[in-house]
Amino acid sequence: MIYTNRRRFLLGSAAIGAGGLASSTGAWASQNWPNRPVTVIVSFPAGGLTDAVARNFAQHVAQKTGQQFIIENKAGAGGNIGAAQVAKEQADGYTFLHTISGTLIQNRVLYSNLGFDPDKDFTLVAGTPSGALPLAVHKSVPAKNVKEFVAWARTNKVSFGTWAAGSAAHIVCQKLNNLYGLKMEAIHYRGEAPMWQDMNAGSLQVAMGSYQAMKALLDRDMIRPIGIPGPARAPLLPDVPTLAEQGYDHPAFRLHGYLVLAAPAAVPREIVNRMASLWIEAAQSEQGRKMMDSFGLRDLPIGPVEMAAEHEALKKQTLPLVQELGVKLD
């Protein structure tokens, strides 16, 4: 598989520019980092895409630096619990957050009290495009495409699985309801793994998530992918058209997102750039490529400068759609 960046990434140039402004203290921290174990807080449970990427990439970084990188899963409240913990940690480069873009974007609309300021408490280190997130129906649902599913859902009770309230899956569910007169109930989980377990049991009729997390069900023909919400087809499901290709071209059906690596806001820029460089390198390592292949991920991570720009663009695109949900979770 060929790996590409959605936009050209020039980390070296960004690092040089930032380095010109570095203080002697920051330079010392960069030269000596890390000199003890580093913790990466993953704000979703083990078994899903967010966790898998963090574990795989962190292993590579550990090998390159000679220091242990400890993964801790702190799930709950759409990623807020883990994010709030990292926001309170010392900005010394020894604690990072790995979460989804929705934690730092959508959640500000969904929750009255996040426990952190998503704009002020973090420095964005890197972002891994989350790739295609197929929409799949349970084998009991007699639909092979979105049009057939919409027709079936009009006259049947439908539970729609999402990995978090306010997620892209939730937005797709609600927008299908609003546009086509459906009454699907969004069922929110603390990550993908428990969602696909319920899909396997038949308590969900439709769900949306990463290829690797649903692969076991695909292999046993327990589910059937019917469309790809997003800008492009899934590399591992090339015969499944996007929703836009099937005539469902609302912006809600073309969303994309990132797995975000972030640090407390005041972490020295030298450490941010070093960690970003290692994270991007991890995706190009042999084990990183194998992991990305297994999840159907094609685009390489991007570094802090580009991620900051993408983050602002995602906020403008996504927040109005989340506000339309009219949901408050606290």
3-state SS, one letter per residue, for 202-232: CCCCEEECCHHHHHHHHHCCCEEEEEECCCC
Are 21 and 95 contained in the same domain?
yes
Are 230 and 320 contained in the same domain?
no
The tens digit of pLDDT for each residue in 263-286 reads: 999 999 999 999 999 999 999 999
- Residue 197 domain-assigned (yes or no): yes
Give the domain CATH number at 249. 3.40.190.10
- Residue 70 domain-assigned (yes or no): yes
- Print the domain residue range for 266: 11-130+257-325
The tens digit of pLDDT for each residue in 188-237 reads: 998 888 999 999 999 999 999 988 889 999 999 999 999 999 888 998 99
- Residue 277 domain-assigned (yes or no): yes
Are 29 and 56 contained in the same domain?
yes
- Residue 330 domain-assigned (yes or no): no
Domain boundary among 224, 253, 282: 253
**Whether the bond into 34 is cis, omega within 30 of 0:** yes
Give the domain CATH number at 39. 3.40.190.150
Domain boundary among 235, 253, 271: 253
Output the six-digit token pair for 203. 């308590």
Alpha carbons 63 and 196: distance in angstroms, whole number? 32
DSSP, collapsed to helix, strand or coil, labels residue 319 as helix
DSSP, collapsed to helix, strand or coil, labels residue 208 as strand
The tens digit of pLDDT for each residue in 108-137 reads: 998 999 999 999 999 999 999 988 999 999
Q: What total of structural domains would you count in the chain? A: 2
Domain boundary among 253, 271, 296: 253
Q: What Cα–Cα distance (Å) separates residue 302 from each residue in 22, 211, 245?
A: 22, 21, 28
